[in-house]
Structure 1
Amino acid sequence: MGCIGPATPGFLITLIAAALLGLVSFCVPYFEPIFFLKAAIPVVGTDLRGIITFGTLGYCLKFPNETTFCSEPQVGYKLGELIVIENRHQPVGEQVTYTNERADVNQLLDNNLPFEIPGEVVKWITYVLVLHLVAFALATLSASFGLLAHIQEIPLVCCSTLISGFAATVAMLAFIFDIVLFALTKKRIDKTPGGRAEMGIAIWLTLVGFLMLFFSGCFYVFGRCCISSSGGGRRDPEKGRH
């Protein structure tokens, strides 16, 4: 049988869920290809448009000259921070020049209301993205108990299943928040003149992680019923004496 035991299916499913939620938790600005939303925004003073991607701990801006700026990773972030970008196309020997750009939420959404959206409001909304980190931590704890369940099966399987339930609940809340926030933002950006936005894979990774955690208990039951009954060919020694 080796390292495979009744707890193995449940352990593997929670481990994969933890890995997926880990990718979401540390996506942009750490892993730029994984994001919640990507949108095109105008570059101040030009007809060009830059690309902004949103993640759990921040955002990244990529400008037409291939310069990329990423915010400092933090729980709760806001747009409108001053970005200083070095002009890499100046002639050799000339003084280095800098361009100040500002990623403002009102500009991004083409806000024409009589009042502007404060950057602090955006920051408090993005605080809710910490749910991804909480779900990742709980999923990791659940996978740890699933691994230890190979030694002491019943009590630790119960612990792993219970924690998976909590992790699944948090992941579900995070997914609902992602859909509401970023779908509404995408809809608003698409309505702006020349605006375009697309949803990222981070939202769907959160959904898959939630489903895996939600059904992890079923995988523990499957392992208990199938692997235990077929593993090692355990037989009652009394039956072989006839």
Structure 2
Amino acid sequence: MVSWNKILGVATVAAGTALLGMVAFSVPEFKSIYFLRIDLSNSTVTTAVNQTAPFVDLGVLGFCTDLQNGQGLQCSPAKIGYNLSDASQFISGPLPAGLSSSVNTVASGLTKVLVLHIVAFGISLLSFAFALLAFFGAPIADCCSSCFCGFAGSAAFAVFIFDIAFFELIKKRVQDVGNAGAAVMGNALYLTLFAWLLLFITPIMFLLGRCFGCCLPDVSSHKDKERY
């Protein structure tokens, strides 16, 4: 009989892994998931994004931009470490102020570190594989799943802290450029936070399950004794 902690453990690891996967392959793959949006309209920083204004969305492996010039949403090729100056191929004229050299210099360096999201996703995949093995009764997989889940949770927390720093640095550079628009936090940060919480909770559930499993009496053996 499969214990409740294994069922919940597999479910939470699967959910955390799925969230990290969505973030790792965000813009330009999943175009609705991004870390930061640079609103290129001449406005101040707001908590909501004007969808009709030109913008650039930054993801792990690239960016997507809609400059409201009739070309629709255009995305860069997926690669590790990208340059915002590549947006010039979608523009007939100079780059907007929000993609100026100072913003681009910071962004091109920081985007290389975003690959850590793919690393966290890979560790979480291993944890999910061991959780499945533990679910089907492999003894050593139970311990390995807890260990790798802890590693994945630590990696998710580390990249979440980096994401916050990434956003604040780009936001400051955009604000320093006159009439550059606004930098708005993207939904990928919240997905990373939820993934970390799920992966953080899972080892605790495994531990509680083992503790209560040791303390609870074996009902089947007790019934067998009563027969005799």
TM-score normalized by the length of structure 1? 0.76
Alignment length, in residue pairs? 217
CA 1:129 to 1:207, structure 2 compared with 1: closer, same or farther past 3 Å?
Answer: same
1:95 equivalent in structure 2:
none
The yes-or-no answer on 1:52 pairing with 2:56 is: yes
Q: Which runs of 5+ in 2 are unaligned?
A: 43-51
State the shift of 1:190 in Å: 4.4
Q: Relative to 1, partners in 2 of residues 1:197 and 1:6: Cα closer, same or farther, differing over 3 Å? A: closer
1:148 Cα deviation after fit: 0.6
Question: 2:144, 2:196 → 1: CA distance?
Answer: 18
Superposition deviation, residue 221 in structure 1: 2.5
Task: Give the match for residue 15 of structure 2.
Answer: 16
Q: Distance in 2 between matches of 1:11 and 1:214?
A: 13
Deviation per CA, 1:124-172: give whole Å up to 9, x if none.
Answer: 3211101110111111110110011023344111101111121122211
Aligned 8 A contact 2:40 2:98 in 1? yes
Percent of matched pairs sharing the same residue: 34
**Structure 2 residue aligned with 1:134:** 119
Instruction: Name the residue aligned to 1:32.
Output: 31
What amino acid does structure 1 have at the position aligned with 2:75?
A: C
Residues 60/138 of structure 1: CA separation in 2 closer, same or farther (3 Å cut)? same
Bigger radius of gyration, 1 or 2? 1
Which of 163, 168, 176 is 1:178 aligned to? 163
2:98 to 108, 117, 120: 108
Provide the residue aligned with 1:239 in structure 2.
225
Q: Which amino acid aligns with 1:72?
A: P
CA 1:102–1:33 in 2, change beyond 3 Å: closer, same or farther? Answer: farther
1:75 and 1:153 map into 2 onto residues whose CA distance is 37
DSSP-derived class of the 2:84 partner: coil
Please tell me whether the aligned partners of residues 5 and 227 of structure 1 are also in contact (alpha carbons under 8 angstroms).
no
Superposition TM-score, scaled by structure 2 size? 0.81
Q: Report if aligned partners of 1:82, 1:101 keep a CA contact under 8 Å in 2.
A: no
* Structure 1 segment 1-242 matched on structure 2, within 5 A: 6-41=5-40, 50-64=54-68, 65=70, 67-81=72-86, 83-85=88-90, 100-101=92-93, 103=95, 107-108=97-98, 116-117=101-102, 122-190=107-175, 192-193=178-179, 195-224=181-210, 234-241=220-227
Consecutive unaligned residues in structure 1, runs of 5 or more: 86-98, 111-115
Higher strand share: 1
Asked whether the 8 Å contact 2:62–2:75 carries over to 1, the reply is yes
Indicate conservation of the 8 Å contact 1:9/1:222, yes or no. Answer: no
Shift of 1:4: 5.8
CA root-mean-square deviation:
3.1
